[in-house]
Amino acid sequence: MWINFLSLLPSTLVTVLVITIAFLRFYDQTDFPYLGFIAEPRIWSNRLTVAAIVATVANFGVE
């Protein structure tokens, strides 16, 4: 049972990361005021891109 759950985790994580990356890249403070709390949205987007690539590689390892 846990193996099935763990096999879904990397693909779910990739989906969430890609949504967050798109949100940080294509929107700014004028669209969503609470984005002002993030100091460097472009740098965080780059970091999340690396995390998504790592999660994708982990997903290939699980499959």
Taking a C-beta distance cutoff of 8 angstroms, is the pair 5, 53 a contact? Answer: no
Q: What is the pLDDT of residues 18-38, one digit of tens each?
A: 998 988 888 888 888 888 888
Who's near 14: CB < 8 A, 6+ residues apart?
A: 52, 55, 56, 59
Taking a C-beta distance cutoff of 8 angstroms, is the pair 52, 18 a contact? Answer: yes
In this prediction, residue 58 carries a pLDDT of: 80
In this prediction, residue 47 carries a pLDDT of: 92
Report percent pLDDT > 70 for the chain: 87
In this prediction, residue 1 carries a pLDDT of: 60
Average predicted confidence (pLDDT) for the chain: 83
More confident residue, 57 or 8: 57
Q: How many CB atoms lie within 10 A of CB 17?
A: 19
Where in the chain are the domains? 2-62
- CA–CA separation, 48 and 27 (whole Å): 16
